[in-house]
A and B are shown apart, each in its own frame.
Chain A
Amino acid sequence: MITSRREALIGRVLLVVLMLVTVVPFVTLFVTALHPSGTYPSGLSWPDDPQWGNFVTAFTSARMGALLWSSTLIVLGVVPLALIFGTMAGFAFGQIRMKGGRVAFLLLVLGLTLPFEGIITPLYFQMRDFGLLNTRWAIILPLIGLFMPFSVLWMRAHFVSVPKDLSEAASIDGAGIWQLFWRVHAPLARPALSSLAILLFLWTWNQFLLAIVLVDQPDKRTMAGALGAFQGQWGTDIPLLCAGSLLIMTPTVIIFVIFQRQFVAALLQGSVKG
């Protein structure tokens, strides 16, 4: 028992240290953002005259409003469609289980670990041929495809665990398969769906490679993609760069803090399944 108390103390100390290591970088960023624009502040030091205006400057000159809107549009293009298609396929592979479905499913699973760099070059030419380069569709459409392996796997895992007799009962009551899916199965899948929605939102919002390769204009990109251009613009003005970076990560952090329970659950499960 004595050892266990000592261990608890060690555990607490370690946990606090790890949390500090995680948080201090954010604090530095914040403190640095308050220094006069154009200066080279040193590490962690509170400025004599905090320049809160830096955030406004960064917001307006980076056209944050447009960036936010663009990211939102991209998320709205990707997430609902990826959810619907992933759920439908998960339902097919997990409940209907058609002949040959396993082969198709394995083909999908194959894409689970695919690095995006592996297909980015042909994707560029494909988007050019479709005439979609420099439009948000160039990010939206491929992302739906790229998210399919994970989404289908995730939803299939849910549908596999739903007892078959539920479908039986509903079809005896005269429900068609479409009604069965929308009225019975989709509502039951809500917990799995909301976790998946959170993960897809996060991955879309933070997507960088597709954004910088397929779209030239920063304000048609995702938030993360815009950040790249942002750094090019202000790479030398450290306080403004810090202010801008903070602004750009704020939306996800706010949403994360509000829905932290669901986020943590989704992220934990998500990494297990991925």
Chain B
Amino acid sequence: MTSPIDPAPRSATAPAVAVGLAPAPKTDRPAVTPGRVGRGRRSGRGRGQLIGWLFAAPALLFYAVFVLRPLVLTVQYSFYDWNGIGAAKSVGFGNYVKVFTDPDLSQSILHAFVLIIFFSLIPVALGLLVAAAIRSVATSKLGAVARVVLFLPQVIPLVAAGIIWSWLLASDGLINQLLDLVGLGGVTRAWLGDFSTALPAVGIIGAWVLVGLCTLLLSAGMSKIDPSLYEAARMDGAGAIREFFTITVPGLRQEIGVCVTVTVIAALASFDIVYIATQGGPGNRTMVPGLQIFYLAFSEREIGLASALAVVLVLLVLLVVVPLQWFTREDGS
């Protein structure tokens, strides 16, 4: 008999062995099941196969029709010069060349990467620091309240976050009021309308949405780190900083990976916040690929160009996310 832990999928035609069954796991769901042993007691094995596919069919059908087909079509459209109504003209890789050479389009990709600093780097870094600092109070009553409060930005639509912050960052808004209060009246401005501050201002909105999520995720991850590790570090005379880098950060590898993945996707595929807060302006200063695709396809009727940018966006996300997954899952199990 094979090892009881066998993550490799086995077909239902595997020999039916119903002896030595592992005990049922308790309520907590382990990532790897302990008992993948007795299988295939079903009478008709071929029928089991068919039934399996029948069960998966609706999900696969919806996925194929509403995700895979459009995805293939996006790739197809990306080689066309097409306004969506008349005849499509094939232009080879022309649209892709334009995506990388037209300053407006390549800028929008660049902006998405700038947003990674705000959507991803700041929330993850801040989340790590805060999670480390609140370790001792995370289980307190205050911690319980914080769990609810810090999730609020996750619960409201991103559009609402955009509206809230458009007002906070407006020339009469709270941010400027606070700046005036502390004697920084000289720097006040309409943050989202200023060429030099619009993109960081959009970034701040994303940071606000995501910092609570990261903090709570990392904090939950920290509660799983063996406390004796910290005690041992203390005994060895490690300070808080040393402790942070030798125990906390390595122990949170998986959670950090999750936070980075989620937030990077949020940055690269940002749409809602930018659409509401700046509509890509002033000028093109906050134009991001998601919004650019929307404008190109539905206002300018440049279906081919929009699709090429969409393909590039999908590839960018994969390019960032796949290595991240590989990196964090490597010794995860």
Contacts and interface: CB of A to CB of B under 8 A. Distances in A.
Given A114-B67, A249-B157, A274-B262, A15 B134 contact: yes
Interface in A28-51: 28-29, 32, 40-44
Interface string A193-226: 0000000001001101100010000000001100
A43 B22 CA distance: 63
B113 interface: no
A15 B136 CA distance: 11
Contacts of B56: 88-89, 92-93, 98, 101, 104
Contacts of A163: 21-22, 24-25, 33, 35
Contacts of B73: 119, 122, 125-126
A118 to B, nearest CB: 4
A108 interface: yes
A253 B156 contact: yes
Contacts of B11: 97-99
Nearest to B48: A96
A144 interface: yes
B225 interface: no
A146 B65 CA distance: 10
B260 to A, nearest CB: 11
Given A98-B53, A115-B269, A227-B163, A11 B134 contact: yes
B37 interface: yes
B176 interface: yes
Interface string B204-240: 0000100111011100100000000000000000001
B77 to A, nearest CB: 7
Contacts of A15: 130, 134, 137, 142-143, 146
Interface in B294-333: 294, 297-298, 303, 306-307, 310-311, 313-314, 317-318, 321
A28 B74 contact: no
Given A158-B29, A228-B159, A252-B156, A43 B317 contact: no
B249 interface: no
A74 interface: no
B67 A111 contact: yes
B49 interface: yes
B150 interface: yes
A124 B37 CA distance: 47
A177 interface: yes
B177 A118 contact: no
Interface residues of B, number: 119
A58 interface: no
B151 A256 contact: yes
A239 B211 CA distance: 28
For chain A, the bracket of interface size reads 35 or more
Contact of B62 (A8, A145, A160, A238): A145
Interface in A254-274: 256-257, 260, 263-264, 267-268, 271-272, 274
Contact of A208 (B36, B136, B158, B265): B158
A263 B59 CA distance: 25
A114 B290 CA distance: 12
A165 B149 CA distance: 43
B160 interface: yes
B208 A21 contact: yes
B51 to A, nearest CB: 5
Given A32-B167, A85-B59, A42 B294 contact: no
Contact of B151 (A111, A162, A213, A263): A263
Interface in A165-215: 165-166, 168, 171-172, 177, 181, 192, 202, 205-206, 208-209, 213
Interface string A1-21: 001100110111011101101
A115 B268 contact: yes
A121 interface: yes
A30 to B, nearest CB: 10
A164 B305 CA distance: 51
Contact of A96 (B12, B60, B160, B294): B12
Interface stretch (B38-46, B93-101, B190-198): B38-46
A8 B62 CA distance: 51
B291 to A, nearest CB: 8
Contacts of B307: 121-122
A241 B276 CA distance: 12
B12 A123 contact: no
Contacts of B31: 157, 161
B151 A224 contact: no
Contact of B13 (A99, A114, A118, A274): A99
20 contacts: A11-B134, A15-B142, A21-B211, A22-B152, A28-B167, A41-B172, A43-B176, A89-B56, A97-B39, A114-B314, A115-B314, A115-B317, A116-B271, A121-B307, A148-B59, A163-B33, A253-B155, A256-B151, A264-B147, A271-B213
Closest 6 CB pairs of A and B: A145-B66, A98-B52, A115-B269, A43-B177, A224-B157, A89-B59
Interface of A: 3-4, 7-8, 10-12, 14-16, 18-19, 21-26, 28-29, 32, 40-44, 84-86, 88-89, 91-93, 96-99, 101-102, 104, 107-108, 111, 113-126, 141-142, 144-146, 148-149, 151-152, 157-158, 160-166, 168, 171-172, 177, 181, 192, 202, 205-206, 208-209, 213, 223-224, 227-228, 231, 238, 241-242, 245, 248-249, 252-253, 256-257, 260, 263-264, 267-268, 271-272, 274
Given A113-B317, A209-B290, 8 more contacts: A18-B146, A22-B212, A97-B9, A121-B293, A121-B307, A145-B66, A181-B55, A208-B158
